[in-house]
A and B are shown apart, each in its own frame.
Chain A
Amino acid sequence: MAKIVNFTIDGKDCIAEEGLYLVQAAKNNGVYIPTLCNYEGIKPKGSCRICTVRINGRLMTSCTTPISDGMKIESNTEEINDLRKAIIELLFVEGNHFCPACEKSGNCELQALAYRFKIMVPRYPYTFPQRRVDASNPKIIKEQNRCIMCKRCIRAIKDEQGRSLFAYKKRGHKSEVVLDPVLGLQMSDELARKAMAVCPVGSILVREQGFIQPIGTRKFDKKPIGSEIEMSQPTK
């Protein structure tokens, strides 16, 4: 049996199995640490930095940091929340996110985080980049205007031989996540649906499936993101 360790988050005494990633350890103790690029069941990447916390005085990402005994963690502080907010605002201004006509509205994690952090207007100027809509695949549409480069699809959507169907293309600010034109052709309906579910925003859309789920029944329509963790009973 793994060793049980003691740690605190914002002064709250917590326990967890040693080696669990901090995000998970916090969740088991009923504490929500916001995440975006992280997805349960796939290897963490630590790329979005939304989950940043202060551990024993140092800023670290909680999705990639294993828990160990005696950690003193600060998460829900003004300073850290403002850092998180700044990241969310940056994501909004450097893409073209128009929630009103987006199929993911209500199921979108970026939108849900913006609501949770009460973002009314970003502090940075919009960049309105010129992005394209790749509608060439028979199963899905890749909407580059909304891609936040979290790489969840690259990590989670693989064929039977373990090859990723999505990949990075180009460099620097021109980088985009694209669907492999050859492997993409073999995508099953099931994998297409999974890809759409894995995408935290509305960048991967299953064809001809828009708006079938009514308003009011979507994931974040009634409760803010993270509230299910905060309302849950701590598990060990």
Chain B
Amino acid sequence: MNQKIIIEPVTRVEGHGKVTIHLDEEGNVARTRLHIVEFRGFERFVQGRPYWEMPVLVQRLCGICPVSHHLAAAKALDVIVGAGTGDGLTPTGEKMRRLMHYGQIFQSHTLHFFHLASPDLLFGIDADPAIRNIIGVALKHKDLAVQGVMMRKFGQEIIKATAGKKIHGTGAIPGGINKHLSPEERDMFLHGPDPLNIDKMIEWSVAAVDFFKSYHKKNKDLIDNFSVFPSNHLSLVRKDGALDLYHGVLRAVDANGKKILNDVDYQDYLKYIDEEVRSWSYMKFPYLKHLGKENGWYTVGPLARLNTCDFIPTPLAQKEFEEFKAYTNGKPNNMSMHMHWARLIEVLHAAEMMKELLNDPDLLEGELVVKGKKQYEGIGLIEAPRGTLFHHYRINENDQVVMANLIVSTTNNNQPMNNAVNVVAKKMMTGKKEITEGMKNAVEVAIRAYDPCLSCATHALGKMPLALYLYDKDENLIDEFISQ
């Protein structure tokens, strides 16, 4: 008899997912799937709303990285209000948004590393779930837990100062931003009492990268071999090839580093990217059109970004980047667990960027908004913590949204996450009669490396075929329902 193993829900990822592993008669893994069974519907219910509500409305998709949605929507609307396709904002408008974004990257990455991922690393993936969690970390590694909390707090305070609120603010508006930073706020971030100042944040970010590197040295097998498979990588990069999380051109490289998307303008993304719907998941599968569904899938996120960019434009992160690149002899890094390394290098980069921006007088004064000739369609991309995020809107002559298309980071990572599950399942489950906690968690760890936000990724409604299958105990299909 075939055996079906269900791990549900995957814990310590944002949102909900379900993994099924089908074993054949010999106990080998026949098939694995990461099912996304949450159902949202944002693309549909924003239709008819005034366009300027989008940055405030669509961010409600997510409580973890709302700033990314807020900014991606605002960038799409910059196009609509005639403020250009990314380079047209006033210095204040652009820099305030960047500060907000780096605050967001900083807090989200720290949340992921310290709260969600560190329990696996500190206690091992076989450890009892009762201690393998953030409370366990707090009890055994107090300093680390405190650092995680304070770093996250710093990032959130930056968001509050730029967006008005820590979660779901209103700072970015079409064509710019609605406020300046006050000198008091700036001084607090630059010179506030320890640990809540930017120099401490940079120091702790360096320490976090070091923590990972020494962990890596001791656990080479896990980090290097846990889940490895060739993948394409996609992200925005600055026009000169630098890592840029706020704006740039689209670049993709294959597993060997060959450019397969050569710094194209993202306003044309539909020329290059398509999405496939599969009946068993609410999450779509994006791919590069010219490579086809089979070969065109790609990874986004910290690892992909460090694989696509040529350098990091801040000194400390650049130093780490060089070491990171040297580890794979300059080739793209396809080891899923190295995502954590890349993420921490980005934490450091975000901290350095925040310091640079905080010292910039443009934040304190200057024009906030620009507008030009009205357009009826706009596309905004941003590198969210979890990877490239696409927002695309069309409006009518009454300023109402008539079409919205969102491709969120986790959706971009759909295929890689499925592959990671497959690789790990084959390695851990094959030939085993019993499922241990460690095995189940290994699958989760593989998914968690992508820091997936499954609630964001299931925002679509109306296009998705909904399929319900009813099985009896021997897995015979007895009823089915499929809507188109």
Contact = CB atoms under 8 A, between A and B. Distances in A.
Bound together: yes
Interface of A: 100-101, 103, 133, 135-136, 141, 205, 207-216
B53 A215 contact: no
Interface of B: 48-50, 52-53, 55-57, 60, 81, 163-165, 168-171, 173-174, 178-179, 369, 398-400
Contact of B400 (A100, A135, A216): A135
Given A100-B60, A103-B53, A136-B398, 9 more contacts: A101-B57, A133-B48, A207-B399, A210-B50, A211-B55, A212-B178, A214-B170, A214-B171, A215-B170
Contacts of B60: 100-101
Nearest to B165: A215
A101 B51 CA distance: 11
B464 to A, nearest CB: 23
17 contacts: A101-B49, A101-B53, A101-B56, A101-B60, A103-B53, A133-B49, A207-B50, A208-B81, A208-B174, A209-B52, A210-B53, A211-B55, A211-B178, A213-B178, A214-B164, A214-B171, A216-B164
A129 B56 CA distance: 23
A100 B168 contact: yes
A209 B53 CA distance: 10
A94 to B, nearest CB: 20
A136 B179 CA distance: 30
B49 A215 contact: no
B185 to A, nearest CB: 11
Contact of B398 (A135, A209, A215, A216): A135
Contacts of B400: 133, 135
Contacts of A135: 50, 398-400
A138 B179 CA distance: 27
B50 A211 contact: no
A101 B164 CA distance: 14
A115 to B, nearest CB: 16
Contacts of A211: 52, 55-56, 170, 173, 178
Contacts of B52: 208-211
Contact of A208 (B163, B164, B178, B399): B399
Contacts of A213: 178
B399 A210 contact: no
B447 to A, nearest CB: 30
A215 B164 contact: yes
B170 A100 contact: no
Nearest to B170: A211
A210 B173 CA distance: 8
A136 B164 CA distance: 32
Name, among B170, B179, B369, B400, the residue most crowded by chain A CB atoms within 10 Å (CB to CB): B170
Nearest to B180: A214
Given A207-B399, A212-B178, A100 B56 contact: yes
A136 B396 CA distance: 11
Contacts of A214: 164, 170-171, 178-179
A133 B399 CA distance: 11
Nearest to A143: B50
